[in-house]
């Protein structure tokens, strides 16, 4: 696992850019947690990818079910990706 200390130690990112990534992550968490809470779901975790555009840190990826975990707020049932339903012509 790569953490902030590794990123800074190996010179992959500056302290300032790390701080901005942290700030954007907290903002995204606040917005998404409320959105899913209102829908009866718990946002357990999610991934974000960042990049630089004209020297500024920006979110560089979409938010999707593939990069997150959601649970039902009442039952705590996991809303993770399950097996695909069988489709005609697909191998077993």
Q: How confident is the model over 32-89, as pLDDT tens digits?
A: 999 999 999 999 999 999 999 999 999 998 888 888 999 999 999 998 766 666 777 7
Q: What is the pLDDT of residue 85?
A: 66
Structural domain spans, the chain: 19-72
How is the chain split among helix, strand and coil, in percent rounded to 5?
35, 20, 40
Between CA 22 and CA 36 the distance in angstroms is 21
What's the pLDDT tens digit per position in 9-31? 999 999 999 999 999 999 999 99
Q: What is the pLDDT of residue 73?
A: 97
Q: Domain 19-72 falls in which CATH fold?
A: D-amino Acid Aminotransferase; Chain A, domain 1 (3.30.470)
pTM score, whole prediction: 0.80
Radius of gyration for the alpha carbons in the chain, expressed in angstroms and rounded: 17
């Amino acid at each position: 696992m790569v953490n902030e200390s590794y990123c800074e130690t190996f010179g992959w990112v500056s302290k300032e850019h790390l701080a901005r990534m942290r700030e954007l992550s907290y903002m995204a968490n606040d917005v998404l947690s409320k959105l899913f809470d209102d829908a009866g779901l718990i946002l357990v975790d999610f991934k974000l990818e960042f990049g630089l555009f004209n020297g500024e840190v920006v979110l560089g990826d979409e938010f999707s079910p593939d990069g997150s975990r959601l649970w039902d707020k009442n039952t705590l049932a996991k809303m993770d990706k399950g097996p695909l339903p069988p489709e005609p012509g697909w191998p077993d």
